[in-house]
Amino acid sequence: MLDLKDLRNNLDEATKKLASRQCHVSFAQWIVLDRKQRNLKNSMESLKAKQNKASEEIKRLKKEGLSLDEILKEMKQVDQEIDCLNSDLSKVDREVTDFLLNLPNFPHPSTPIGANEVDNVVKRSVGEVVSCSFQRKSHWEIGERLKILDFERGAKITGSRFTLYRGAGARLERALINFMLDLHTQTHSYKEMLPPFIVNRESMVGTGQLPKFEDDLFKTQPDYFLIPTAEVPLTNIHRNEILAESDLPIRYVAYTPCFRREAGTYGRDTRGLIRQHQFNKVELVQFVTPTDSYKQLEHLLGDAEEVLKRLSLPYRVVLLCTGDLGFAAAKTYDIEVWMPSQGVYREVSSCSHFEAFQARRAKIRYRTTLSGEVQFVHTLNGSALAIGRTVAAILENYQQEDGTVKIPDVLCGYMGGMEKIGVES
């Protein structure tokens, strides 16, 4: 959620920042509501001050044995006025909150201005894109031929965009999860967590999925949702808490399945593992102080990149423009891995800085050591990495001319010493 005081004091600037994200908002209605809300609060405070003053007067009258009839009659009227104001204020509060919850975050000044993904900026490419003497097959062709991915039976069990992993395919998925968790906990100093895979509405609101993206989510009940990413439960660990500054930074890593309806994407990436309704992911989440939060974003990005470096997969880092930013993000780097069969890079991670946007919604604060002042933390998150897309990249980049797939060296130990995947019976 945006800072209310910042909106009031810099409305023209706020309008420009949101417009740079292709979010064209009229604040006219909000200005009226904001003024009404403040007037109602001022009236409430005046009446409560009157009540406090009357309480002292009642004590005096009792002590002197004087009649209370007049003042009690007056206070009854004040109580009725407060009840009416409370009702009006509750309604206005809901309208103001609904308006604010649907506004995206402001982009950071270092985020390039642009309309869509065409305007994103490639920051660097890492690893060599190797040509080979044979025709590269797609990961779904490889997976089906080696009998390690079964898209037909996945669809039979559940529906389209669900996949059944078999044998070495299932083991490769598990190996990647364990490898990533070990790397981030043992080398990058994250604490491993295993959160619930179902969260309540408050958790979804806290990280920015609700109310705007309800159509993209799987519901189990009206107020319970299957998680679209581990970012949601991990961030909400500290919802409604005040942390000590000495506790920061806090770094969590978790493996979870993720569930997304992908509303509005039908017809895109219908083949293979790129856009599934259910997929596995290892996620990084950080809670940091505002002073060095953008430095921490670069570190988080490096932690995610290290996975691809150790897997020896070619990739590039892309800085998203304002028009391609996620709803809650102020700045985002995408990491895109090379997919030889298509001759393109595909996103395998997003590393985002939310500033205080999520913390304000979820009321995650910290108390400063020197002054004792309570401030909002800054939150960061990054995929490190999306497992299914990493499997796809390994199958395509490590395919051999004889049809087998070489196992990346770093994963052989996690695969029980297996060095390649051949046709399974």
Q: What is the pLDDT of residues 116-143, one digit of tens each?
A: 999 999 999 999 998 888 889 999 999 9
Give the model's pLDDT for residue 70. 87
Q: Is 367 helix (H, G, I), strand (E, B) or coil?
A: strand
The phi, psi pair for 308, rounded to 5°, reads: -70, -35
Tell me what the mean pLDDT of segment 194-199 comes to: 98
Q: Which comes out higher in pLDDT, residue 66 or 228?
A: 228
> How large a percentage of the chain has pLDDT more than 90?
87
Give the model's pLDDT for residue 133. 85
Q: Which two tokens stand for residue 339?
A: 């997919």
Confidence category of residue 396, pLDDT binned at 50, 70, 90: very high
* Distance (Å, whole) CA 263 – CA 213: 9
Question: Is a pLDDT exceeding 90 seen at residue 80?
Answer: yes
Confidence category of residue 424, pLDDT binned at 50, 70, 90: confident
Does residue 385 have a cis peptide bond before it, meaning omega lies within 30 degrees of 0?
yes
* Cβ pair 203, 210 in contact under 8 A: no
Give the model's pLDDT for residue 61. 87
117: closest CA among 269, 323, 317, 262? 323
Confidence category of residue 166, pLDDT binned at 50, 70, 90: very high
Question: Is a pLDDT exceeding 60 seen at residue 425?
Answer: no
Burial pattern 107-119, b for ≥16 Cβ within 10 A else e, equals bbeebeebeeeee
For tokens 């559940």, the residue is 158
For residue 170, give the H/E element and its range: helix 168-186
Give the model's pLDDT for residue 313. 98
Tell me what the mean pLDDT of segment 17-30 comes to: 94
Q: What is the pLDDT of residues 239-280, one digit of tens each?
A: 999 999 999 999 999 999 999 997 656 666 778 999 999 999
Confidence category of residue 233, pLDDT binned at 50, 70, 90: very high
Give the model's pLDDT for residue 323. 97
Q: Tell me the residue type at 226.
A: L
Question: Euclidean distance between the first and final Cα of the chain, in Å?
Answer: 54
* Distance (Å, whole) CA 295 – CA 310: 23
* Cβ pair 257, 280 in contact under 8 A: yes
> Domains in the chain, start-ordered, CATH in brackets?
26-101 (1.10.287.40), 117-421 (3.30.930.10)
Tell me what the mean pLDDT of segment 42-51 comes to: 92
Give the model's pLDDT for residue 168. 97
Q: Which two tokens stand for residue 193?
A: 């967590």
Mean pLDDT across the chain: 95
